[in-house]
Structure 1
Amino acid sequence: MWDAETGKEQERLVDGEKNDSRRIDQIQLSPDASLLYLVTGERLFINKCSVAKENRIFLGLGCGVKWFGVNPAGITYLGTNDAGTALMMVKDPFDEDARDKLLRTSHTHSGPIDLLAGVGDSAVVTVAGGVLRRWKADSDEPVWEQKLDEKAQPAHLSVGAGGTIVAVADKGGGVHLFSAETGKAAGTLSGHTGPVRAVAFNPNGKQVVTGGEDKTARVWDAKSGKELAQLEGHTKAVTGVGFSPGGDMIVTGCADKTARIWAFTK
């Protein structure tokens, strides 16, 4: 963890050399910012940021996690079977008896789930087999389905604040926007000169930040699709992006082994 204002390292939470950890594939704060979710290898780990430093990493459910999502109600969505075709919904995947406390296992797909993200308190969107779907927690049938362009190669999925818009980053270089209510196309963000690896919304829902293999991160107007800024300086692919809770800072992670913090003026 780092101080956002000074860039000084505050604490090393996971050390692969000491803990025999695999690479960290995903990192996400819980809705109340009290927990840090880490996906390492094929298992889900959690870090309780508010407790003493000893014994802070807890092993989660070993269910071949490729992607996961947490909604504002604190429900965690995980891949569940070896084929990766269904979702498991659980309140606390890190409880010792979590497997006995499943809220639901459903949303079965015909093929492996490539991407997923929580929408609001009771829904989730997924990408599988080139199709974007929205699901409700209490139904086994999707609310809507939207077939993506045949040439699209989805790389990342994000949902805007309020759960009204969905963004799908494409390895082809674009970011496609869809209405979370209807699934209808809502625009495309075009400008990257290579595959787009990451996408995230400003908490206010008005801007989108993307990162790509062209070594840049770009900021867009979510409504008009206009490019607002281009963040340059990384020397390799930008693989992670995000806004601060106040929306006034952007953080980018890169294959050049650096993370950078940028001031953002709305």
Structure 2
Amino acid sequence: MTKKTWLITGVSSGFGRAMTTQLLEAGNTVIGTVRNTTKVQDLIDQYPNTFICETLDVMDVPAIHELINRVATEHQIDVLVNNAGYGLFGAAEELNDTDIDKILATDLTGSIQMIRSILPFMREQQRGQIIQISSYGGQVAYAGNSMYHAAKFGIEGFCESVAQEVAPFNIGMTIVEPGGARTEFRYGSAHVANLMKVYDENPAHAFMKMLDPANGLAPGDPEKMATRIIESVDQPDTPLHMVLGSQALENTIATLEKRLAEYKSEKELAASTDFPAGK
């Protein structure tokens, strides 16, 4: 792997931490953002010349612009990884306005603003790679995850559009759609709404079983997933959507096949709303 300079958000845990560690061990430079430096002090001490730790809350849009303008002027950023994010669980009725605003600002708007900010620099250097950490929840929806899906479906649509805009400038885009992995996303950082008893026997609370490690751990290995993400940068044929995890891929394919069959069944309905041919 050619040594590069990576800008990665949310490197204190999960995929961000795993990627950062692997990249630093291989001799790359990582500009990693955290909200507090405590969890990455070991990396700061071990890699004083190649790990540049920046404090950033991706909900702070002016701070995003300031950070990108500064670090992209000081360093040539080869790869941006939008990794910062979290899960929010609960029925739509159980969420409050703050829950909704916060997850959209973190999982959707934060990633949008990071990408918008880095594009002028990558366009000027006529190359770059953007990796958006999404989820197979950007294609498959489950009860009790409505706002998480709203953020992930939204960022995937944004990235698909931007990928077409920046391809002429030799800027690549990869949307990573991991399945369940043994990270703090599920076992530590997940946010749960104020639950209502009326939903206790409802599919909206099925997530409670998933969040309890006693019911079995997620199948995904975050270290292996991090390796596959890193490898994708040097591959000429990396797909726009990269699903990680066999269960995630199986569920995604099943969902898309069902959706496609539904659309195909609506051919006559769709045509019935057109003007007659030639009119």
TM-score, structure 2 as length reference? 0.27
Q: Which has the higher helix share?
A: 2
Hey, which of these two has a bigger chunk of strand by percent?
1
TM-score, normalised on structure 1?
0.28
Structure number with bigger Rg = 2
The structure, 1 or 2, with the larger RCO (C-alpha pairs under 8 Å, 6+ apart) is: 2
